[in-house]
Amino acid sequence: MKNRGPVWFEARSSAAVADLFAVCDHSQAVEATTRACEPTMDAYFTGSLEQRVAAGRAWLQYARCGDWRSFEQPLHQLGLACERDGIALTAWGEIASAFYAEIVPCAVDAYAASPPRLAQVLLVLGELLERAQAIITAAYDTARREREHIVAARQARRTARHDEPTEASFATRLEILSNTAHEFAASSGDIGPLLELVACRLGEIVGEGCAVRLISDDGVWLEPSTSFYHPDPARREFARQLLGTQRQRLGDGLAGRAAATGEAVLISEVSPSQMLALSAPAFGPLWTRVDITSALAIPLRANGRIIGAISLMRSVPGHPYTMADQHLAQELADRAGLAIDKAVLVATLEQRVTERTAALAATNRELETFSYSVSHDLRTPLRAIDGFSRVLLSDYGTELDANAQRYLSRICDATKRMSHLIDDLLNLARVARQTPAFADLDLSALASEILTEIQLRDPTRDVVVHIQPTVSAWADARMLRIVLENLLGNAWKFTSKHARAEIWFGADSHAFHVRDTGAGFDMAYAEKLFVPFQRLHTTKDYDGTGVGLATVQRIIGLHGGRIWAEAEIDHGATFYFTLDTMGAGQRRSGHG
């Protein structure tokens, strides 16, 4: 499979998503209908129910190839079209029911022998349909809110012109605040689109033109911004080009005063020439191009701080801004300020993450260089020590007493252990930096190959080996070899002092396992197993560097799994491990 699941299935088994696609493939009609029916909106409004289902299957096929955007976009368009044409959302239920009714029998046929897998596939299918429903409904609601905003904005402008607000006008105003606050809060965390949304909504509701600018990090300027709304496209584009290149010092102009003092500035009636006198020279072309009859600037506040300013302008004679407009605009701005402050924080955190990730990558490169340097620098004297010790034993062994020969032998053994420790530490460092290259692996064959190699190195041992056949996994081949070499090697090592030695490798629906009848360990110290250099047995009893299981844990973690052990002193140990993609490989073995 090219794709192992969409973002909303991250918490689910990727194998279940792959299984769902396999079930869809199981329907002989899918391929033909996919070729015959390019998914379009027309299929939902002019086609038969069969054509609608075929279009749905075609979108699912796109998703299977990794193009989830092609899957989501038509559903989003469907929601918009339903609202625009006054079509109820009940049509989706009809489509979903038909699709579900066709796929479920295929799933039952494919997984009749494995009820757990069948249940998981059906669960994923249900979540997929729920996600589709959410996309359609969200688009439908967005289109409905857009329509309501326009109606509410017109009503607000009408009610704001009356000297004595009525109960109906207060109700309308509260509804506007509630809807807009919800929309700001639910908008994307991307600061650019959010500022555009704020300018658009305040321009529509309070009218007419609206610019949103934020204070610079040094607290001296209002930053350039293209977040400007005006119902006239030509004026909107001209203002965006100008405001997007000019910054404004706090205290200068109407917006600068509002940002500096935290107080709104309202000029009920003003002419372009008066605005020229009140503004910085850089903004002169704007007032020459855009007729203006009334101006309003309000501070943009969030959590007790002023973070920017909002400028509003009208070009209709006889309709100046009022105190009611100012209060409404400030209420809307305060709600927008909270959403903007949150978006800025998210952007700042993302930048910090990016910077720290880059710093971590640089540190890792330095550590890699350091590791190889240390490795080379350590190996050179070790080789010298080992070489001279062996020369002494070879050339002058007969002239040395037993103690001297024993000391030299211990020196040779110590340099050998040190060399192995360096190798293990380098392997641990390499594993931590690598990304798994996933493929289908026959773990039974791999375990058999490793145990054969171990037996050839230690032919005097008589060990009974039990390898469960056809155990497979979706994993990195080289990394899983390291895992099994360590676990099976430990099982072989810790059974060396037991007359009856047996080793098992296998898997069930929950985990893979390596079991032995060896020395075992005290479970009170189990937490030390995967800590580098922590050993539960002395080097006198069993050799080793204490790094192998730490490497194994790193590899299992890179595969999204976990590892643990159960043991009893002198009654053997069992190491269990899982892989996040375990089910994908277990399909062949019948253990999924």
pLDDT for res 29? 41
Q: Are residues 168 and 134 in the same domain?
A: no
Q: What is the pLDDT of residue 274?
A: 87
Lookup result for tokens 């002092």: 497
What pLDDT is attached to residue 449?
93
pLDDT number for residue 120: 75
181/225 same-domain check: yes
Under a CB-based contact definition with an 8 Å cutoff, are residues 535 and 548 in contact? Answer: no
Do 202 and 315 fall within a single domain? Answer: yes
Which residue among 345, 379, 403 closes a domain?
Answer: 345
Rounded Cα gap, residues 248 and 284, in angstroms: 13
- Return the bridge partners of 575, or none: 514, 565
For residue 430, tell me if it sits in a domain.
no
Sheet of 463-467, strands arranged across: 463-467, 501-507, 512-516, 573-577, 563-567
Q: Of the candidates 495, 580, 576, 485, which has an alpha carbon nearest to the alpha carbon of residue 529?
A: 576
The single residue listed with the structure tokens 């009609």 is 29
Structure tokens at 74: 């038509």
Tell whether the model's pLDDT for residue 35 goes beyond 50: no
The answer to whether position 508 is within a domain reads yes
The predicted-structure confidence for 393-430, as pLDDT tens digits, reads as follows 888 877 888 888 888 888 887 777 777 667 766 766 66
With CA atoms as reference, report the closest residue to 45 among 36, 35, 58, 55: 55
> Within its chain, how far is the Cα of 154 from the centroid?
41
Binning pLDDT at 50, 70 and 90, where does residue 343 land? confident
pLDDT at 517: 92
Phi then psi for residue 399, to 5 deg, are -90, -5
Q: How confident is the model at residue 514 (pLDDT cuts 50, 70, 90)?
A: very high
* Better pLDDT: 381 or 275: 275
Same domain, 230 and 294: yes
Residues contacting 185, CB < 8 A, separation 6+: 335, 338, 339
- The closest of 393, 457, 388, 382 to 416, measured between CA atoms, is 382
For every residue of 384-395, which 3-state class applies, written as one string?
A: HHHHHHHHHHHH
Domain of residue 326: give its range: 161-345
| CA-based nearest residue to 203, from 176, 239, 228, 181 | 228
Chain centre to alpha carbon of residue 436: 18
> How high is the pLDDT of residue 139?
75
Beta strands in 241-321 (DSSP E): 248-249, 265-267, 294-302, 305-314
Report pLDDT for 216: 93
Q: Is residue 109, in this structure, part of any structural domain at all?
A: yes
What is residue 79's predicted lDDT score, i.e. its pLDDT? 75
Among 50-54, 526-530, 541-545, 556-560, top mean pLDDT goes to 556-560
Tell me what the pLDDT averaged over the chain comes to.
Answer: 76
345, 367, 382 — which closes off a domain?
Answer: 345
The answer to whether position 385 is within a domain reads no
**Predicted pLDDT of residue 71:** 64
Burial 72-103 (b: 16+ CB within 10 A, else e): bebbbbbbbbbbeeeeeeebbeebbeebeebb
Q: pLDDT-derived band of residue 6, with 50, 70 and 90 as boundaries?
A: very low
Note whether 170 and 224 are same-domain residues: yes
Q: Is the pLDDT of residue 28 over 50?
A: no
pLDDT for 48-86, tens place per residue?
666 666 666 666 666 555 555 666 777 777 777 777 767
Length of the chain: 592
Residue 431 lies in a domain: no
The answer to whether residue 402 is domain-embedded is no
Which of 248-257, 283-292, 352-361, 490-499 has the lowest average pLDDT? 352-361
The average pLDDT across 367-375 equals 65
pLDDT value of position 150: 59
**Model confidence pLDDT, tens digit, residues 115-128:** 777 777 777 777 77
Residues 137, 74: one domain?
Answer: yes
**Could you tell me which residues come within 8 angstroms of residue 250 by beta carbon, excluding any fewer than 6 positions away?**
215, 219, 220, 221, 222, 256, 259, 260
Side chain identity at residue 45, one-letter code? F
Section 204-220 average pLDDT: 91
Q: What is the pLDDT of residue 164?
A: 45
Coil, helix or strand at residue 500: coil
- Does 130 lie in the same domain as 208? no
- Range among 11-15, 30-34, 384-388 with highest mean pLDDT value: 384-388
Looking at residue 520, what DSSP letter applies? -
Structure tokens at 111: 């997984």
pLDDT at residue 49 in the model: 64
Are 198 and 251 found together in one domain? yes
- CATH number of domain containing 167: 3.30.450.40
**Number of domain units in the chain:** 3
Residue 370 lies in a domain: no
Read off the pLDDT band of 262 (50, 70, 90).
very high
Judge if 528 and 479 occupy the same domain: yes
Q: Are 110 and 26 in contact (CB under 8 A)?
A: yes
Give the phi and the psi of residue 519 in degrees, each rounded to 5: -70, -25
* pTM of this structure: 0.41
**pLDDT tens profile 159-185:** 554 444 444 444 457 667 767 777 787
Same domain, 457 and 495: yes
Is 151 inside any structural domain?
no
For the segment 205-222, the average pLDDT, to the nearest whole number, is 92
Question: Which of 345, 380, 408 delimits the end of a domain?
Answer: 345
Q: How confident is the model over 440-496, as pLDDT tens digits?
A: 999 999 999 999 999 988 888 889 999 999 999 999 888 898 899 889 998 998 888
Structure tokens at 60: 């699912």
DSSP letter at 532 equals T
pLDDT the model gives residue 56: 64
Q: Pick the most confident of 314-323, 341-350, 412-421.
A: 314-323
d(CA 2, CA 12): 17
Q: What does the pLDDT read at residue 26?
A: 56
Cβ-in-10-Å burial (0-12, 13-18, 19+) of 53 comes to buried
User: Does residue 164 sit in helix, strand or coil?
Assistant: coil
Query: What 3-state DSSP class applies to 47?
Result: coil
315 shares a domain with 210: yes
Please check whether residues 230 and 266 belong to one and the same domain. Answer: yes
Backbone angles phi, psi at 507, to 5 degrees: -160, 155
| CATH code of the domain containing 477 | 3.30.565.10
